[in-house]
A and B are shown apart, each in its own frame.
Chain A
């Protein structure tokens, strides 16, 4: 059976057109949206980077890592410490500050890059003990790592300002910076996945022993995937910090809850699909914001219902459990929304139309 495929040139041209259209839409949104919608749009971009990077580790390579929040936290703090001026830091560090921390300063791009690099390096270190473990243990060990980082951030007063966190971080994360980094993330990871290395990672996900038997150094490739995923997590952390303008090591903001949110995004979108992660991130962000209404008082058929805080997470968790039980494959399953697939789907539909 000959497979219907579009030529590579066609695909590249279509992709470039798509990026152009997206850029135009973003420009229009940037000008036209009110500030609230703009904020959500930017959050979608940040979540998308988090989702795509976690998907590389969990969905494509099959490493069940729950430590993503740890890398995001590392990236956030590294970048924020770099973009805040020494004077600002002097003022906000309540317990004093390490001199070398105070004197670090860089521009936003370098700071974000550094955030990614430090996160990637920590992934390299933590990968050696953690990646040798099997599925369940790996999950807990990676969660443990993320918790250790968070608890350290809570206690290292002269480095991170402890529980107070960093405030008044300059809001450098514009729509363009965020979506620019998102584009880079998707291109990088997609290019990796659509190469011999990507196939090797998927093989490791399918069957580690068989992969090793086919000559793949499983540990090395897992580490590679882990480090790349962590790099982009660190980048997303920096963008997040400069969007939220304050970061602190609380359980709810930079802890397991954040990892849970990202997990929801990639499961909803389809574990193992890059385009799925993008869709999942967008759906989650919009849904989560929309559910905010539930936490305000509202009227339901004329009855005044008081706002209940925490309702959002309840609904999201319940939905998540329902998805896991009834619709595990998520929106895209493991497939991608590629030009080829679209073309096949469309021409398949046409054929049916012709027949009848």
Chain B
């Protein structure tokens, strides 16, 4: 083979590798400081498209803060966040959700007085009502979520709206069924048992049609059987819905069983990164957890 040909093939392979291992989210030297407290210290890493990535660390390590910075609740003191080739650092949370990042919360934040169906339906509303976020998409060469205008007036007069509503309800019901909550579709979220509430929160996040899903301690408060079901559930979600998942979790069984790659934080910094096996045997990780709480190892 000629040298040129080899070079050509190498470039092709590199291209394909990038495609396969393309980062969907890049945290570029992100620091988050609150007054004197540095909650996140030079966090520099990426999330690969399609992977199941875990973010672990002792309490107070800064994990949820990372989530809050990604989703736009906090503006980073230093650094940038790049999602799907767009710099999303300056954007507000609702815009970032529209762009394709969804999240759940450490303490479940459902719309308790609304039904299961309504909770999931609400998550689709952003498609209609965010022209500014659509403009961001267009500016970055991506298709907008919505092309029709005047949705407010359509909604009130019901002209040119009924089909859209029907479509949203279909999608919501389908999602609820796939998640296994059809039997409580018309119940208020407040009446659901804890495990189902967690599922609903994830379903609601999925209804926003995200490319990246951030789960904040989904296994909190679950017994071993429930966390096993959850592990299976998370795997299915990643496969069936074609999303990348970034997961904060304290339950080590869940983390080790579900995540393909793990990042470990302590005092705001990344102290280790690797596969579950590598992390389990990493002395720095063990040291960080020893002397602090260590659950379910």
Contact = CB atoms under 8 A, between A and B. Distances in A.
A binds B: yes
Q: Which of A203, A209, A334 has the largest number of chain B CB atoms within 10 A?
A: A203
A216 B186 CA distance: 23
A3 interface: yes
B126 A206 contact: no
Contact of B126 (A191, A215, A334): A215
Given A213-B93, A215-B208, A188 B156 contact: yes
B42 to A, nearest CB: 26
Interface in B99-140: 102-103, 105, 109-114, 118, 121-130, 132-133
Given A3-B186, A191-B156, A212-B94, A206 B113 contact: yes
Given A191-B158, A195-B156, A1 B111 contact: no
Given A206-B112, A216-B129, A196 B94 contact: no
A113 interface: no
B130 A206 contact: no
A56 to B, nearest CB: 12
Contact of B125 (A3, A192, A200, A210): A200
Interface stretch (A30-38, A65-73, A217-225): A217-225
A39 to B, nearest CB: 32
B97 interface: yes
B98 interface: yes
B156 A216 contact: no
B183 interface: yes
A203 B208 CA distance: 14
B118 A199 contact: yes
Interface in A215-271: 215-218, 220-221, 224
A266 B122 CA distance: 25
A215 B123 contact: yes
B296 interface: no
Do most interface residues of chain A lie in helix, strand or loop, or is the interface mixed?
A: helix
Given A1-B186, A195-B165, A203 B114 contact: yes
Contact of B94 (A188, A207, A217): A217
B109 A209 contact: yes
A210 B109 contact: yes
B215 to A, nearest CB: 13
Given A3-B186, A214-B126, A196 B105 contact: no
Interface string A172-190: 0000000000000000100
Given A191-B158, A192-B156, A215 B186 contact: no
Contacts of B92: 212, 217
Nearest to A210: B109
Contacts of B194: none
B78 to A, nearest CB: 24
Contacts of A3: 185-186
A292 interface: no
A200 B121 CA distance: 9
Contacts of B110: 206-207, 210
A7 B114 CA distance: 22
B149 to A, nearest CB: 15
Given A199-B118, A334-B113, A214 B155 contact: no
B152 interface: yes
Contacts of A209: 73, 109
A188 B126 CA distance: 22
A215 B183 contact: no
B111 A203 contact: yes
Contacts of B122: 196, 199-200, 202-203, 211, 214, 216
Contacts of B163: none
A197 interface: yes
B157 interface: yes
Given A206-B111, A215-B130, A216-B122, A195 B97 contact: no
Nearest to A206: B111
B272 interface: no
A214 B156 contact: no
A196 B154 CA distance: 11
B161 A195 contact: yes
Interface in B126-176: 126-130, 132-133, 151-152, 155-158, 161, 165, 168
Interface in B212-268: none
Interface string A1-38: 10100000000000000000000000000000000000
Contacts of B103: 213
A202 B161 contact: no
Nearest to A198: B155
Contacts of A212: 92-94, 97
Contacts of B109: 207, 209-210, 213
A217 B94 CA distance: 6
A196 B152 CA distance: 9
A336 B102 CA distance: 32
28 contacts: A1-B183, A3-B185, A3-B186, A192-B156, A195-B161, A196-B121, A196-B125, A196-B128, A197-B129, A199-B122, A202-B113, A202-B118, A202-B122, A203-B122, A206-B110, A207-B110, A207-B111, A209-B73, A209-B109, A210-B105, A213-B94, A213-B97, A214-B208, A215-B97, A215-B125, A215-B133, A217-B132, A218-B94
Given A1-B185, A203-B122, A218-B94, 12 more contacts: A3-B186, A196-B121, A197-B125, A199-B114, A199-B122, A202-B113, A213-B105, A215-B98, A217-B94, A217-B130, A221-B129, A224-B152
Q: In the A-B complex, list the 3 residue pairs whose CB atoms are closest, starting with the nearest.
A: A215-B126, A215-B97, A195-B155
Interface of B: 71, 73, 92-94, 97-98, 102-103, 105, 109-114, 118, 121-130, 132-133, 151-152, 155-158, 161, 165, 168, 183-186, 204-205, 208
